[in-house]
Amino acid sequence: MQPQLWNQLENLMAQNKAPRGNLGEWSELYTLGYLLVHGGAFAADENQEAMPDMFHKVLQVYLAGRAGEPETNYIINSRDIARIVTGKQIGRAHV
């Protein structure tokens, strides 16, 4: 499942403009990939150490672009991740 997901993310990145040096843009993409692959993330304490008994499950990721750009929605469940753009499913990656 992971290679399929990363291929989809690479395709998304290829559609956008070349990076302008803002590392925040890449960290957001990394976070999206992490949440999709792992289905969520662990909470952290005041020292930024993961708390293994507190996992925050992500059920859906919604991305809205600028006005007029398509909206992307990733719906995550135990068996697969569906990618929906402007209300139409365009991909599904199996876990």
Distance from CA of residue 34 to its chain's centroid?
Answer: 7
Which has the minimum average pLDDT: 9-23, 48-62, 72-86?
9-23
Provide the Cα torsion 19, 20, 24, 25; round to 10°: -40
Could you tell me the pTM of the whole model?
Answer: 0.58
- Beta-ladder partners of 51: 43
The per-residue pLDDT for range 7-50, each reduced to its tens digit, is: 666 665 565 555 555 555 678 888 888 888 888 999 999 999 99
Cα 89 from Cα 48, distance rounded (Å): 37
Cα 94 from Cα 77, distance rounded (Å): 10
Ramachandran angles phi, psi of 67, nearest 5°: -55, 130
Structural domain spans, the chain:
2-94
